[in-house]
């Protein structure tokens, strides 16, 4: 599985995410998105011949549905027989919950799998850690997901970043089950990956296990996502441009005001 980016930075300002502190510099165009896959394939062929990239997740830098036209064009290229020739069932697009984008994606002829970064079981907490919730409340988001057409044996994935003392209680787990029990879905829990731009803490191993077991007991498939890349600050929620004084940097175009979401 390869995780790819759709933007340089991000405009959505999720409080636990390092990318949010960068802000949005620009959208990636479709060619830049697809090129990530081609480059990774070439590198993998060099270092581990025989292994293949079989799954793509749009979960790197950026909000994919904020860059809708380029992302959907890249999806068409990646699934074309003359492109990467991937099945749309092998591709997952993640969103923080842009309802307008979800509705537009629902109208696409070939739809990828959909993942939603939920991270809270009520509006009070989600308003605080994900400002997008002040525009699209949980009820409105879930209504859009119910409108989203799912092919046979497909499920929506709900991503849930666990923050100690914020959203990791058993009461949170119970509310999460109540919210999602009517969806064909699975829940991926992600213990928060630390970075210096946010004041949160990762829950203890016992708290993580208790939360997962409570969700499972409630009847939802629930999986623990093992962090990868955290040794180089490249795990989920850690992607940001950092440098030491004196480092040579590739110049970026002048930062501009983020596009309207």
Catalogue all structural domains in the chain, each as residue range(s) with its CATH number.
2-232 (3.20.20.70)
Q: Where is 217: in which H helix or E strand?
A: helix 205-217
pTM attached to this predicted model:
0.87
Cα separation values, 246 from 22, 237, 243, 249, Å: 20, 26, 8, 9
The model's pLDDT over 185-215, given as tens digits with 9 standing for 90+, comes to 999 999 998 877 778 999 999 999 999 999 9
| Whole-angstrom distance, CA of residue 103 vs CA of residue 158 | 17
Q: What is the pLDDT of residue 28?
A: 98
Q: Which of 76, 69, 62 is nearest to 11 (CA)?
A: 62
If you ran DSSP here, which 8-state letter would residue 199 be given? -
| Whole-angstrom distance, CA of residue 190 vs CA of residue 203 | 10
Query: pLDDT under 70 in the chain at which residues?
Result: 227-261
Q: What is the pLDDT of residue 235?
A: 40
Burial 205-232 (b: 16+ CB within 10 A, else e): eebbebbbebbeebebebeeeebeeeee
The model's pLDDT over 203-249, given as tens digits with 9 standing for 90+, comes to 999 999 999 999 999 999 999 987 544 443 344 544 444 444 444 54
DSSP letters of 86-111? --GGGEEEEES--HHHHHHHHTSSS-
């Amino acid at each position: 599985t390869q995780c790819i980016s759709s933007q340089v930075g991000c405009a959505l300002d999720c409080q636990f995410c390092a990318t949010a502190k960068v802000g949005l510099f620009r959208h990636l165009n479709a060619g830049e998105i697809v090129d990530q896959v081609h480059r990774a394939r070439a590198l993998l062929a060099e270092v581990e011949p025989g292994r293949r990239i079989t799954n793509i997740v749009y979960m790197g830098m950026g909000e994919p549905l904020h860059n809708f036209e380029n992302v959907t064009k890249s999806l068409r290229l990646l699934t074309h027989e003359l492109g990467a020739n991937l099945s749309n069932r092998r591709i997952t697009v993640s969103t923080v919950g842009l309802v307008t984008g979800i509705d537009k994606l629902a109208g696409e002829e070939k739809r990828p799998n959909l993942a939603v970064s939920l991270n809270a079981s009520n509006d009070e907490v989600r308003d605080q850690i994900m400002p997008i919730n002040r525009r699209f409340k949980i009820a409105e988001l879930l209504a859009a997901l119910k409108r989203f057409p799912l092919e046979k044996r497909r499920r929506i994935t709900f991503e849930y970043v666990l923050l100690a003392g914020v959203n990791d209680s058993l009461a949170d787990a119970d509310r999460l089950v109540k919210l999602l029990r009517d969806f064909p879905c699975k829940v991926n829990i992600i213990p928060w990956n630390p970075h210096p731009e946010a004041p949160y803490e990762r829950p203890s191993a016992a708290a993580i296990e208790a939360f997962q077991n409570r969700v499972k007991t409630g009847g939802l498939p629930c999986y623990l996502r093992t962090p990868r890349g955290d040794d180089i600050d490249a795990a989920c929620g850690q992607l940001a441009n950092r440098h030491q004084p004196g480092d040579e940097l590739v110049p970026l175009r002048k930062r501009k005001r983020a596009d309207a979401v």
